[in-house]
Amino acid sequence: MNTLPDIFDHCHGIVPLRPRLEHWMVALLRDPPTLQDMLDTHGAPLNIQSAGPFRCNITNLIECVADFDLPFLPLFARKANKCLTYVDAARDMGIGIDTASYAEVAQSLARGVAGHRIVCTAAVKDRALMSLCAANGVTVILDNFDELDLLQDVAQEAARPVPVGLRLNGFVRDGVTLYSRFGFALRDIPAIAAQLADSSVMTLQGLHFHLNGYSAEDRIAAISQALPLIRDIRPDDQHDFFLDIGGGIPMNYLADTDQWPVWLSELDRALTGARAPITQHNDGLGRAPGPDGVSGSVDSYPVAQTLVQEDWLRKILNASSGERSIARHLRDAKIALRCEPGRSLLDGCGITVARTAFVKQDSHGTSVIGVQMNRTQSRSGFAEFALDPLMVPGPAPRGPATEGYLAGTYCTESEWLTRRKMVFPQGVRPGDLMVFPNTAGYLMHFLESRSHQFPLARNVFVQSDPTAPAEPDPIDDPT
Ligand X SMILES: Cc1ncc(COP(=O)(O)O)c(C=O)c1O
- Closest contact distance (angstroms) between CB of 237 and ligand X is 29
Burial of 474 (0-12, 13-18, 19+ CB in 10 A): middle
Helices (H), 51-101: 52-66, 84-92
Q: What's the one-letter identity of residue 236?
A: D
Nearest 5°: the CA angle 20, 87, 28 is: 35
- Closest contact distance (angstroms) between CB of 72 and ligand X is 16
Q: Three-state SS for 64?
A: helix
Stretch that binds ligand X, among 151-159, 235-243, 340-348, 458-466 (CB under 6 A): 340-348
What one-character-per-residue DSSP string does 292-358 give? TEEES--SB-----SS-HHHHHHHHHHSEETTEEHHHHHHHTTPEEEE--SGGGGTT-EEEEEEEEE
Task: State which of positions 176-205 bind ligand X (CB under 6 A).
Answer: none
Q: Which of 346, 325, 249, 347 is nearest to 70 (CA)?
A: 325
Of 167 and 429, CB closest to ligand X: 167
Q: Provide the 10 A C-beta neighbour count for residue 361.
A: 10
Q: What is the CA radius of gyration of the chain?
A: 24
Of 77 and 226, CB closest to ligand X: 77
Pick from 107, 136, 139, 344 the residue near ligand X by CB under 6 A: 344
- Closest contact distance (angstroms) between CB of 378 and ligand X is 17
Query: What is the distance between the alpha carbons of residues 398 and 356, in angstroms, rounded to a whole number?
Result: 14
- Closest contact distance (angstroms) between CB of 441 and ligand X is 6
Pick from 143, 147, 218, 340 the residue near ligand X by CB under 6 A: 340
Measured at CB, which residue is nearest to ligand X? 247
Is 121 a binder of ligand X (CB under 6 A)? yes
Pick from 52, 165, 342, 348 the residue near ligand X by CB under 6 A: 342
- Closest contact distance (angstroms) between CB of 459 and ligand X is 18
- Closest contact distance (angstroms) between CB of 124 and ligand X is 12
Of 244 and 388, CB closest to ligand X: 244
Is 343 a binder of ligand X (CB under 6 A)? yes
Binding-site size, ligand X (CB under 6 A): 14
Query: What is the distance between the alpha carbons of residues 119 and 207, in angstroms, rounded to a whole number?
Result: 12
CB of 285 within 8 A of CB of 247? no
The maximal CA–CA distance of the chain, rounded, in angstroms, is 75
Of 59 and 320, CB closest to ligand X: 59
Query: What is the distance between the alpha carbons of residues 459 and 465, in angstroms, rounded to a whole number?
Result: 18
Stretch that binds ligand X, among 257-265, 307-315, 334-342, 403-411 (CB under 6 A): 334-342
Element (H, E) at 289: strand 288-290
Give the x/- contact pattern for ligand X in 23-62, rule: CB under 6 A. Answer: ----------------------------------------
Pick from 10, 78, 91, 210 the residue near ligand X by CB under 6 A: 210
Calculate the alpha carbon distances from 154 to 4, 160, 422 in Å. Answer: 57, 12, 54
- Closest contact distance (angstroms) between CB of 144 and ligand X is 14
Pick from 16, 341, 393, 437 the residue near ligand X by CB under 6 A: 341
- Closest contact distance (angstroms) between CB of 208 and ligand X is 8
- Closest contact distance (angstroms) between CB of 147 and ligand X is 14
What one-character-per-residue DSSP string does 184-232 give? EEGGGHHHHHHHHHT-SSEEEEEEE---SS--HHHHHHHHHHHHHHHHH
Of 79 and 419, CB closest to ligand X: 79
Task: Give the distance from CA 5 to its chain's centroid.
Answer: 27
Task: Give the distance from CA 7 to its chain's centroid.
Answer: 26
- Closest contact distance (angstroms) between CB of 251 and ligand X is 9
CB of 405 within 8 A of CB of 368? yes
Task: State which of positions 244-263 bind ligand X (CB under 6 A).
Answer: 246-249
Of 35 and 345, CB closest to ligand X: 345
Of 409 and 438, CB closest to ligand X: 438
Give the x/- contact pattern for ligand X in 58-97, rule: CB under 6 A. Answer: -------------------x--x-----------------
- Closest contact distance (angstroms) between CB of 343 and ligand X is 4
Element (H, E) at 120: strand 118-120
Of 19 and 247, CB closest to ligand X: 247
- Closest contact distance (angstroms) between CB of 118 and ligand X is 13
Alpha-carbon torsion angle 417, 423, 427, 433, nearest 10: -40
Of 119 and 271, CB closest to ligand X: 119
Stretch that binds ligand X, among 17-25, 57-65, 339-347, 414-422 (CB under 6 A): 339-347
Q: Provide the 10 A C-beta neighbour count for residue 366.
A: 15
Residues that bind ligand X (CB under 6 A): 77, 80, 98, 121, 210, 246-249, 340-344
